[in-house]
Amino acid sequence: MSKNPHPTIDPTKMGLGRSIAVLTSGGDAQGMNAAVRATVRVGLYTGAKVYFVHEGGTVIGSARCKDFRAREGRMKAACNLVKLGITNLCVIGGDGSLTGANQFRTEWSGLLVDLVKAGKITEEEAKKSSHLNIVGMVGSIDNDFCGTDMTIGTDSALHRIIEVVDAIATTAQSHQRTFILEVMGRHCGYLALVTALACGADWVFIPEMPPDDGWENHLCRRLADQRARGCRLNVIIVAEGAMSRDGKPITSDQIKKLVTDRLSFDTRTTVLGHVQRGGTPSAFDRILGSRMGVEAVMALLEATPDTPACVVSLSGNHAVRLPLMECVQVTKDVTAAMAEGRFEDAIKLRGKSFENNWNTYTLLAHINPPDVKSNINVAVMNVGAPCAGMNAAVRAAVRMGLIQGHNMLAVHDGFDGLAQGQVEPITWTSVSGWTGKGGSVLGTKRTLPAKILEDISLNIAKFNIHALVIIGGFEAYMGGLELVQAREKYEEMCIPMVVIPATVSNNVPGSDFSIGADTALNTITSTCDRIKQSAAGTKRRVFIVETMGGYCGYLATMAGLAAGADAAYIFEEKIAIKDLEMNVVHLVEKMKTTVKRGLILRNENCNANYTTDFIFNLYSEEGKGIFDCRKNVLGHMQQGGTPTPFDRNFGTKMGAKSVLWITDKLKQCYRHGRIFANTPDSACVLGMRKRALTFQPLADLKGDTDFEHRIPKTQWWLKIRPIMKILAKYDIKLDTSERTDMEHVIKKRSPLGM
């Protein structure tokens, strides 16, 4: 981000005299409508005229247009735009659509000349429309566009796939079956790869990395080995574009025949097909689409004739703009690498996110623990409230530790369990199937270690624990700090420690995201959808929904953005009676439109006096005769449920990365025949910071912590709160003093992705 050279510009006047057209093209993807909605509403907010290009599913229709491929078709399109005075085009689609849009922009001057010659437009009209700005948003469930972490629709497609995997898992375990699941991805294996990571599949076939020759024997050996270990379920994931090293297709039917003939296993295949494109978008895709729509409008209105056509996307949680044709070129390079048999290059060209997913998958699924042991004991524990994704992190940490040759120990019931000696070995098969389990299998408590340090130190010595992985929320962070402070008195605490943030509240200092927050966010969003639907018949109704989060307003804010709320009250942004009055006036006006319902979210601790009951009573009184009110306190349903694909994948990556760090740290701390770690960097929080997974010393994070309210002092998501208000049609000012610079593809990739 860099400072805008014109920071005083009024964002509500940026688009005056300008016209923007928005179109969706190519295959439909969940979340496109959120992107369209944001583009339209922010465009109108800036004072611009906004047009739909129909059939361009989404609300406005999505189509693959053959006419546009011919120059005559593009001339017709240019003529239509010129006649309406449109010189800004927002295109939501895949690489084909965006390449076509860029070609259209490149030809624009020539098309205008031909239109003037043909008498279709005047010289004056051509002069007014002399330059066409194009900004793209990538809508594709395959996530096959290089340069972007996540394309709109990918996360929702993963939700559909994982729902099926979870359903299949229960029936397959009952009958001791092998299931082969074919997912979309003709040229890109992203969906297959992340599905394999998220469900702990035995094997995955992707086009970027065909299996080695003789894979048939290897696959059968692996399945037989898993069955011999007591595993009742085998899962094989196949991308529709999977192929062998010599370029021949590998089909799900071919794999089924192999497994049935060689092993006589009861085997079933499921081909998901277009179910992956359907359904409601996930919270992630709604937020992605909304944020990208805002960024697209800003990119269009800030563009000059010298600005190349760009795509807007997220890198980690950071909005970025990338030259469209750079992204297209790298995407083509991947295809070329696969065609030429340069499969390692293909994986790398897909970007860091894809490469890390592949490396994590191969480590966790394809390597048996070594015969030579390290004689290191690593303990894993859960601390604080349970959340979805904790078990995925434990599984990855355990298996990565075993792969490193360590002995892995499970600590039950948090610091209480460590003090009471509830410690036992945990094996490879102990954690089978844990990625999809909600809650905490190990058991977890909120107890902090300060008052039981003596017992904890005795058990660290008794079980000869050399390193500690603490997975949990703010209590895990606080507990880690207390253990570090206790190093002065207890030498047993001088071991490497890592805290992995896992809490629905997303309030752990040192990380922009916590495991479990995405699952809670989807629960709130889907519940809000149902609540709003219940008013479809009655109309003129306002719902007040209370969310969890402690003093952290992340869930209320992001669910508000995802569910299209009219307001979200949070602790971090103080509310006064005038704010409540403004919201009531806003809702009264809204009831005069075609949308006769309202949604207000309230964080549980946003204000001690303006309680959910108070707000409900206030709105009920002020809305008499205009609208009636209902209130819903969502409670502990936000902590339950099976983890989303994001939380399974995030937990898996965090768990694996934490143990690799510990292994490295143990080598550094090994002195005179024993482990001794007392430097600040030997006790860290592993967190997602903007674009990277980073280890930050616990001691360094104290300065950024509001201990009274259990939240970080700086929180990235507060900057996107105005987007929710603008999309709800409030008259507020959007801060444009910071703007996103154009970046380049190679410099950009994030290790998180999804």
Spatial separation of the C-alpha atoms in residues 642 and 439, rounded to whole Å: 8
Q: Global pTM?
A: 0.93
Whether 411 and 499 map to the same domain: the answer is: yes
What pLDDT, on the 0 to 100 scale, is given for residue 737?
54
User: Is position 748 within any domain?
Assistant: no
Q: Is 185 assigned to a binding site?
A: yes
492 marked ligand binding residue: no
- Mean pLDDT, residues 131-136: 94
Residue 715's identity, in one-letter code, is: Q
Tokens of 129: 């429309």
Establish if 492 belongs to a structural domain: yes
Same domain, 144 and 164: no
Convert the pLDDT of each residue in 554-604 to its tens digit. 999 999 999 999 999 999 999 999 999 999 999 999 888 888 889 999 999
Q: Is 153 known as a binding-site position?
A: no
Active site members: 142
CB atoms within 10 A of CB 702: 12
Rg of the chain over all Cα atoms, to the nearest angstrom: 27
Assign 20 to helix, strand or coil: strand
> Same domain for 677 and 620?
no
State whether 487 and 522 are in the same domain.
Answer: no
Distance CA 72, CA 577 (A): 60
Other Cβ atoms within 10 Å of 576 Cβ, number: 10
Residue 700 annotated as lining a ligand binding site: no
CA 67 from chain center: how many Å? 36
In this structure, the answer to whether residues 304 and 331 fall within a common structural domain is yes
- For residue 5, pLDDT over 60 is answered with no
Same domain for 399 and 469: yes
Q: Does 602 carry a binding-site annotation? A: no
pLDDT of residue 543: 94
Element (H, E) at 423: strand 423-425
Structural domain contains residue 738: no
Q: Specify the pLDDT at position 419.
A: 97
pLDDT in tens, 354-391: 999 999 998 887 667 777 888 999 999 999 999 999 99
DSSP string, 659-706: HHHHHHHHHHHEETTEE---SGGGEEEEEEETTEEEEEEHHHHGGGEE
Which range marks the domain in which residue 268 is found? 154-276
Domain assignment of residue 270, yes or no: yes
Cβ–Cβ < 8 Å for 544, 602: yes
% the chain with pLDDT above 70: 95
The pLDDT-based confidence of 2 (bands split at 50, 70, 90) is very low
Residues 561 and 446 in one domain: no
Question: What dihedral angle (degrees, nearest 10) is formed by the CA atoms of 26, 28, 34, 40?
Answer: 40
Q: ∠ CA 647-652-657 to the nearest 5 degrees?
A: 125
The encoded tokens of residue 13 equal 């006047």
Query: Quick one: pLDDT band at residue 60, thresholds 50, 70, 90?
Result: very low
Both 617 and 476 in one domain: the answer is no
276 annotated to bind ligand: yes
- The answer on whether 150 is annotated among ligand-binding residues is no
- How far CA 506 is from CA of 8, 251, 265, 550, 658, in Å, comes to 34, 41, 44, 10, 19
Count of domains forming the chain: 4
Residues 138 and 285 in one domain: yes
Report the distance separating Cα 414 and Cα 407, nearest Å.
19
What whole-number distance in Å separates Cα of residue 197 and Cα of residue 418? 30
Q: What is the pLDDT of residue 731?
A: 75
